[in-house]
Chain A
Amino acid sequence: MNYGPLIFLAAFFALAASWFQFVLAPMVQLGSLPQTNTLTGVTYPLARPGEAAQGLQVYRANGCAVCHSQQVGQRGTVFEVELTAAGTNRAAVAEVLGALQPGLGSGAAERLLDSLPRTWLRVKDKETAEGAQKRLTAAGAKAQVGIVPTGPDIARGWGKRRTVAEDFIYDDPVLPGDQRVGPDLANVGGRLPDVNWHYRHLYAPRAEVADSTMPPHRFLFERRKLGKAPSPEALRLPPAYAPEPGYEIVPRPEARALAAYLLSLRADAPLFAAPLTAPLPAPTNAASAAGASTK
């Protein structure tokens, strides 16, 4: 019996099954993802500006993705009842608050109303949150239900929601990474918006983060003899990392592009697939100082 064609067919069948599942079906489904609108009506995502797109090539060439992921994880989502204004009938609102949280005296509840807006409840089911919001609204307060993704990555401030396919539609190559030797970068532009911080950190990581294990990328910078006056773009480094007197460190175009790319990483828009509401602004009332310090 000639087994050759049989074995070929077996291999063909097995590989075709995998090919349909992981190449063809995703191509059909995700291959032409359009720009969408965020839940707040803004068009998302926008293509990265030219220098940032060049920075992605520096990111690729130097294997940044070997150590850094761009995929924020999310373990769950909770509902928050957010109280934004107490309205005129403070006593009634305080009463509702006291009823919602039995241990709270009405005096303490009224004092809490001095520092608004604040998050009141954090619950897993929607009915409880909406019920509380309705009771607060009925009492004359302004309250809304917030939607907040949770998980260790989000608690670390690495992102506000999980990363989804829409975040990458204009990138080429798309490098979500496979390991976290360093922190996740999906949202680093929102987290660390100072370009000079990135220059100093790329040149000498330990100048910014003590005990950092990131290798320095001095080859992205130029050591230059000082002219009449220091260049405006020269890095202001701590003494331990500064060049010898008479020299200065200036970013090369690669470093500029890479920093521009890092600053452009902001995957935090609220989307249908990854819903969230905008976080509350900090309490504005003067009484908030006392409330914040006791928290």
Chain B
Amino acid sequence: MNSSSPLPAITPGDREPRDRRAPVPVWVFVLLFGLLFWGMYYFDQHGGWFEAQVYPPYRSLADLQLYQPATGGADLARGKAVYDNVCALCHNTDGAGKPNQAPPFHGSEWVLGSPERLIRIPLAGLTGPLQVKGAEWNLAMPAMGAALSDEDLAAVLTYMRQSWDNKAPEITPEQVQKVRAELGNRSQPFTAAELQSVP
């Protein structure tokens, strides 16, 4: 740069710039692919593979599972035995439900949502229209769980909440006992609207 006074902006002979066609150096591509490789490796290590539940500092779903508090030994085997015996006839062993007969359990907001609502359904039954996972059902479910013990009902509901990719906390016999006491000897089934009013 010279130190003489700068030229005014309008100078004769301005031409539009042209571009030469110098090639991109090979090392730029080497760097590009090296960085892409690093990026994929880093993502594999830290990115949690697109899982919605994995946030830093956890690295994967398996890592996150390690940090879940002990559930006090929910008895999934007992729950499965009860389920296969009592529920699977209508709702299928894989929790997928049956068209026009019984709604699915996996991913169902009723199964994963409020325990208070879920416990009421087998204790007194459910009737009338109901929305499950955006689909409309019209049900007449009898009080299938009324005859089960608190422990058996808690185990089967916990099994439903923790199988087929469902992930919700367990339901304890104490919770079942409490709801059973609140219902007293109610025998008429719930409607969906009635259940919605339960917290």
Could you list which residues of chain A lie within 8 angstroms of chain B, going by C-beta atoms? 25, 29-30, 34-41, 43, 74-77, 126, 144-145, 147, 162, 164-165, 270, 272-275, 277
Contact = CB atoms under 8 A, between A and B. Distances in A.
A26 to B, nearest CB: 9
Interface string B63-102: 0101111100000000000000000000000000000000
B69 A275 contact: yes
B169 A39 contact: yes
B25 interface: no
Nearest to A35: B113
A58 B69 CA distance: 38
B55 A273 contact: yes
B34 interface: no
Nearest to B71: A39
Given A270-B69, A272-B68, A277-B69, A162 B55 contact: yes
A251 B53 CA distance: 41
A66 to B, nearest CB: 25
Nearest to A278: B69
Interface string B113-141: 11100000000000000000000000000
Contacts of A38: 169
A158 to B, nearest CB: 16
B147 interface: no
A273 B54 contact: yes
Which of A29, A30, A165, A272 has the most chain B CB atoms closer than 10 A to its own CB?
A272
A39 B68 contact: yes
9 contacts: A30-B52, A34-B112, A36-B168, A41-B171, A77-B58, A144-B70, A147-B68, A274-B55, A275-B68
Nearest to A78: B67
A29 B54 CA distance: 12
Given A34-B113, A37-B169, A272-B167, A43 B199 contact: yes
B180 to A, nearest CB: 17
Contacts of B70: 144-145
Contact of B113 (A37, A144, A272, A277): A37
B56 interface: yes
B109 interface: yes
Nearest to A270: B69
Contacts of A162: 55-57
Binding site secondary structure of chain B: loop
Contact of A43 (B50, B56, B114): B114
A82 to B, nearest CB: 12
A270 B68 CA distance: 10
Contacts of A25: 50
Nearest to B114: A43
Contacts of A76: 57
A126 B169 contact: no
A43 B198 CA distance: 11
Given A41-B169, A75-B57, A273-B55, A34 B109 contact: yes
Contacts of B56: 74, 162
B52 A29 contact: yes
Contacts of A75: 57
6 closest A-B pairs by beta carbon, nearest first, are A273-B53, A275-B67, A29-B52, A41-B169, A277-B69, A77-B67
B114 A37 contact: yes
B187 interface: no
B175 interface: yes
Contacts of B109: 34
A141 to B, nearest CB: 16
B64 A273 contact: yes
B168 A77 contact: no
Contacts of A274: 55
A163 to B, nearest CB: 9
A275 B167 CA distance: 13
A77 B50 CA distance: 21
Contacts of B113: 34-35, 37, 43
B66 A74 contact: no
